């Protein structure tokens, strides 16, 4: 279930789908073969489950001892991409990203009156995966901005700060964004240098979760790229 | 040279000092100035069942109930201990004949003791020679599948005593309330090895909990127990280490709770048998039970502090230890 992540994506997608037919050719869509990018990204918080510590009663029921509510906090990190142009409007991308979110467990309602606390620990999250980026045809909001939609997924590895393996999993993402060429190419066989911004809904399967379900969170990224 | 030691359900006599290697309370015996963990050197451990019966429980019923309890412990996949029924005997529990015997004995003088486990130990080597369990015939007993109101469930009590028989001491994972009679009533427990039994009619203690499983697996490790991790550290109050603090590791992914104690002058504890992953650490004073059910009276157990949670998550690695965790508690 997508909650936080779906709104910006849907707004962006709706705007794109209602765009009028094409007018000018964006400088961002000039022919290229390869693209390399590096940037920063931010991922929103993910609730990862609630659990009550219970003890068994004589009648066979349970008696709560305390409650826990857990989340992976929002975090900023770095990512890098390599892309290859498949056609005029499709680009295949390989991407890797690194984040250091905080795992937080809020403990409350202790049966013996212990003060509520939020215990935390920083973890590292590595992802590696691929996307298909579709350069959307049609009129741009600006002649310099080229909108795109993307979808993909990959492998995720979450490690404790001391590099102790915690969990592995998969992620899937859908998103949209815009890119623009900031400078023409020419030097070092480049075909331009540009910037890109995107917003994504990321759905994580497995990895750190205390209730077993898939988790969704929003993510945004800003990056610079160079084309060859 | 042998020595007989005893452990009672309601008024426990603690054997020597708890073994400090890991924090489940295990029985230990002093040998040559050192504590030796009390455990069976060879398995299957053979046991006899006495022919004594009580109203509502025939000898055959008794044999069946204790067999189920032994089977429950033996079914723990991460523990290697096994048991073998050796036959019925006219002998009573407590006779130093080298045979482990379980049976009823009428002890109305022990009016707060449902059952008791005793050991015969070679005091020169610490080797466990024999362990007997007596069930107090002065109480009403039942082997009814769904329990019997007003009667204590024999299988539940046998499961607890067989934990002792195997070398486990008590767990403090439970809550009680004081009664006007001076005793305590169990409100809830999350370990079969909690020292006070549920009220008559309850069959809740027929099932081992995570704490029991971790304890028996620590004593007799098998299978993939070694891939479980441990959590260790020390408990301090006003900057000074405290002894006897009850430390509980809670796994928010599984809901499992495993407890231990700070067991030495440095306030150190170590809890093994934990599933790898994040854990919440809770520390509480040992104030829900009689301290004598856990520790020797000569040991200075500190209960003058409030329940507290560690403000960081402890990640237990697979097959390793968390590294030392420092927990500071505050005077009440």
pLDDT tens digits for range B199-234: 999 999 999 999 999 999 999 999 778 788 999 999
User: Do A55 and B189 lie within an 8 Å CB cutoff?
Assistant: yes
Sequence-separated contacts (24+) of A197-200 with Cβ below 8 Å = A197/A221, A197/A222, A197/A223, A198/A148, A198/A150, A199/A8, A199/A9, A199/A12, A199/A175, A200/A5, A200/A9, A200/A150, A200/A173, A200/A174, A200/A175
In this complex, which of A53, A118, A160 lies closest to B255 when CB atoms are compared? A53
For residue B173, the chain A residues in CB contact (below 8 A) are: 55
Interface contact flag, A114 B307, Cβ < 8 Å? yes
Would you call the peptide bond into B44 cis, given omega within 30 degrees of 0 as the criterion? yes
pLDDT at B225: 86
Going by C-alpha positions, the residue among B3, B27, B4 that lies closest to residue B193 is B27
Contact B313 A166 (CB under 8 A): no
Interface residue A105 vs chain B (CB under 8 A): yes
pLDDT at residue A94 in the model: 98
Tokens 């053979």 sit on residue: B46
Q: Taking CA atoms, what residue in A is nearest to B282?
A: A114
Nearest to B280 among A115, A119, A166 (CB): A119
Q: Round to whole Å and give the CA distance between B129 and A6.
A: 68
Are B137 and B57 a contacting pair, CB within 8 Å? no
Contact B315, A160 (CB under 8 A): yes
Strand bridging mode B34-37 / A146-160: unpaired
Residue among B231, B235, B191, B184 at smallest CA distance from B215 = B191
Lowest average pLDDT, out of A46-55, B5-14, B87-96, B154-163, goes to: B5-14
Whether B78 contacts B221, CB under 8 Å? yes
Q: Is the dihedral of CA B15, B19, B20, B22 positive or negative?
A: negative
Best of B147, B172, B185, B188 to substitute, by most chain A Cβ atoms within 10 angstroms, is B188
Judge residue B131's burial from the number of C-beta atoms within 10 Å of its C-beta, 0-12 exposed, 13-18 middle, 19 or more buried.
buried
- CA dist., res. A214 & res. A209, Å (int): 8
Q: What is the pLDDT of residue B281?
A: 98
Percent of chain B residues topping a pLDDT of 90: 73
- Between A195 and B126, name the one with better pLDDT: A195
What is residue A139's predicted lDDT score, i.e. its pLDDT?
A: 58
| Alpha carbon A89 to its chain's center | 23
Binned at pLDDT 50, 70 and 90, residue B318 comes out as confident
Question: Is it the case that residue B118 has pLDDT exceeding 70?
Answer: yes
| Contact call for B317 and A164, based on CB within 8 A | yes
Decide: helix, strand or coil at residue B250.
Answer: strand
Please name the member of B175, B204, B253 whose beta carbon is closest to the beta carbon of A210.
Answer: B253
Q: Is A132 helix (H, G, I), strand (E, B) or coil?
A: strand
For residues B298-306, give the mean pLDDT: 92
What is the pLDDT, as a whole number, of residue A19? 38
Phi, psi for residue B106 in degrees, rounded to 5: -90, 110
pLDDT in tens, B168-188: 999 999 999 998 888 889 999
8 Å CB contact of A53 and B323: no
Q: Which of A134, A135, A142 is nearest to A23 (CA)?
A: A142
């Amino acid at each position: 279930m997508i909650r936080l992540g779906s709104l910006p994506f849907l707004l962006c997608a709706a705007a794109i789908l209602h765009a009028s037919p094409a007018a000018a050719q964006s400088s961002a869509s000039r022919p290229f073969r390869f693209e390399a990018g590096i940037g920063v990204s931010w991922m929103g918080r993910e609730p990862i489950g609630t659990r009550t510590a219970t003890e068994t009663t004589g009648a066979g029921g349970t008696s709560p001892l305390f409650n826990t509510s857990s989340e992976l906090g929002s975090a900023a990190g770095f990512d890098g991409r390599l892309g290859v142009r498949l056609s005029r409007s499709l680009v295949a991308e390989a991407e890797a990203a690194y984040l250091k979110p905080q795992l937080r467990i809020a403990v409350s309602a202790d049966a013996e009156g212990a003060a509520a606390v939020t215990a935390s620990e920083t973890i590292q999250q590595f992802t590696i995966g691929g996307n298909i980026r579709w350069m959307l045809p049609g009129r741009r909001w600006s002649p310099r901005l080229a909108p795109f939609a993307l979808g993909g997924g990959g492998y995720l590895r979450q490690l404790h700060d001391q590099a102790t393996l915690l969990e592995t999993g998969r992620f899937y993402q859908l998103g949209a964004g815009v890119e623009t060429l900031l400078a023409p190419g020419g030097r070092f066989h480049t075909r331009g240098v540009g910037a890109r911004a995107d917003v994504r809904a990321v759905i994580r399967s497995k990895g750190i979760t205390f209730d077993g379900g898939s988790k969704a969170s929003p993510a945004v990224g800003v990056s610079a790229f160079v084309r060859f | 040279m042998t020595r007989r030691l005893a452990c009672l359900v309601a008024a426990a006599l603690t054997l020597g000092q708890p073994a400090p290697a890991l924090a489940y309370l295990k029985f230990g015996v002093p040998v040559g100035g050192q504590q030796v963990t009390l455990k069976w050197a060879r398995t299957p451990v053979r046991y006899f069942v006495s022919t004594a019966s009580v109203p509502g429980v025939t000898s055959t019923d008794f044999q069946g109930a204790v067999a189920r309890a032994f089977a429950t412990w033996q079914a723990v996949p991460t523990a290697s201990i096994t048991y073998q029924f050796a036959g019925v005997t006219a002998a009573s529990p407590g006779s130093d004949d080298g045979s482990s015997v379980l049976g009823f004995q009428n002890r109305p003088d022990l009016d707060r003791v449902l059952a008791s486990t005793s050991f015969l130990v070679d005091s020169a080597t610490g080797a466990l020679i024999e362990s007997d369990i007596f069930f107090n015939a002065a109480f009403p007993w039942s082997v009814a599948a769904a329990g019997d109101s007003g009667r204590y469930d024999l299988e539940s009590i046998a499961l607890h005593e067989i934990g002792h028989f195997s070398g486990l001491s008590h767990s403090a994972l439970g809550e009680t309330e004081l009664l006007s009679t001076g005793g305590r009533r169990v409100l809830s427990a999350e370990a079969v090895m909690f020292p006070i039994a549920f009220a008559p009619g309850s069959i809740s203690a027929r099932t081992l909990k995570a704490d029991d499983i971790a304890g028996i697996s620590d004593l007799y490790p098998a299978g993939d127990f070694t891939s479980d991790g441990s959590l260790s550290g020390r408990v301090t109050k006003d900057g000074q280490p405290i002894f006897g603090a009850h430390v509980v590791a809670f796994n928010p992914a599984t809901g499992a709770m495993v407890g231990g104690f700070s067991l030495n002058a440095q306030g150190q504890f170590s809890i093994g048998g934990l599933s790898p992953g994040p854990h919440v650490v809770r520390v509480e004073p040992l104030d829900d039970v009689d301290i004598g059910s856990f520790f020797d009276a000569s040991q200075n157990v500190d209960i003058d502090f409030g329940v507290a949670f560690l403000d960081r998550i402890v990640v237990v690695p697979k097959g390793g230890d968390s590294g030392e965790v420092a927990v500071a508690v505050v005077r009440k």
